[in-house]
Structure 1
Amino acid sequence: MRENRSGGSAPTVLRMVLGKRLRQLREQAGVSFEEAARTIEVTPLTVRRIEKAEVGLRIPYVRELLRAYGVPAAEIDGFLALAREANRPGWWYKFRDVLPEWFRAYVSLESEASVIRLYEPHYVPGLLQTYDYATALMRVGFPNESKEEIARRVDLRLRRQDLLAKPDAPAVWAIVDETVLRRPVGGPEVMRAQIDRLAEVCSMPKVRIQVMRFSVGAHPGAYGPFHHFRFGFSELPDIVYTENLAGSVYYDRPEDVVAYLEVLDRMSVQAEPVARTREILDELRKEL
């Protein structure tokens, strides 16, 4: 488990992958943290932080570590090229004025995931929100911010949605409570447009939406929202993300991730089938 609050450097997915790879190379070479630290004249803690992607990949450090691990010169050049790329700010960097530090890692994970599974008991998932729906939520969540700041936050949310149109778009499987569709965010007109948007994305080949009906009663995910990410990198494990008012928590220990996946699997059986989602949306729209 990794807790991410304000402060520190939010890593890109590539930096996480390269950090894991550095750890593997060190272990394969039989080099201890202390020995690696002496190679680049830092503390063992710094080596640990490099491997956990908690700090940037300083090119001179990485070069000397790779040499110490016996990596061939030709492979070192390729690794360093990836390290330079990993150190570049993500596309979301220009939104850093309205993007909490603890959420930057999430945006990177979302951008690079091959599969995103999530449960949302309160609101329409950010990837599926309309402009007006997102604006209404931001006004409630940030009541003291200016119209310009709210607009920046909404623009960031909509920019995240671009990944759904990519040729290599991730598979998105969302389970939402019926509450999500009945809570009147922004008024009837906004909700009608939002439900129309959900009906539209239901036709996307890589998007699946299931509705958890009130009639189900208690279910294993009722304690709060969470997101599960899977990646196309063997070095990067599945990660589960949860958040609260003070920050966020990222789980990557296999036993934790499996616990969340088991909950999602059970909930997918309890929720209405994907084939029923469009019909449910049509019913709810008529009530508005």
Structure 2
Amino acid sequence: MIEGIPAKLKKDAIRLLQFLVHSRQPLKLAEAKEVIATQVEDERPGFDVKRRLFHKTDVLKYCPSLVTVVYTTDKELHLAHFSVKEYLLEDDQFKVVTASISITRTCLTYLTDIKGSCQKIKRDFPLARYAAKVWADNAASAQASEDIVPAIVSFMENEVTFQRWTRLYQADRFWDDDPGPPRGSRLYYACLAGLIAPVRDFIGKGADVNAQGGEYGNALQAASSRGHQEIVKLLLDKGADVNAQGGQYGNALQAASEGGHQEIVKLLLDKGADDTSSRPP
């Protein structure tokens, strides 16, 4: 079936299948069309609204017999059978790192190219919230690629794209479809997502490791709550206050304890965390 995909469609088909294999949530048909309309392999990558497909059968042509449209509240694109995923995962193109690089690059390109107010983007660009949600999850695996890290840092440093991303989705307020402006720093969100390479970059450029903000209060508590041990160690080595108070869990030690991250608990205690303090009511 894969060999039968027309040559001119194959790159887009592989990328679409990468999304379907590794997506943690169903990909809507409208979102799948946006994936195809976003080019990342070209010399001048970008999202082109003119490349949008208009009919269901157009999407199916890209992956004949490998995908199917499921009619739920929204039309969703699914792999045709669980055996398709099992087979594809044996192919190097669908290994976690390779697929994550492709997904991250697609999402960042899309979020960079779409324009308009937050409400207009939500209305006119079906992939926007999905891309805002999944790019950072995939970037944690994709950062093994040296050339993806500058793209991530550039996206987060740019005020327009940073605001666009965080107004669509904030991982510490995942339940909120309209989270509003960012409550934390760029370093905070990088620590929350486990993006060690961008974290090093931001700290190297002078980011304040003790800046307050976000649901978890500061970068150290965010990293501790999510179990990002390497980032926790880096923050502590760069002067993060191990006993800083505030945020959802009160302090980093409580955040690590609540998450069951025993190695981080030990690391925090070794750095002088106060184990007599309790989580605020």
State TM-score, norm by structure 1.
0.28
Instruction: Mark the structure with the bigger radius of gyration.
Output: 1
Please state which structure has a larger fraction of its residues in strand. 1
Between 1 and 2, higher relative CO (CA 8 Å, sep ≥ 6) is seen in 1
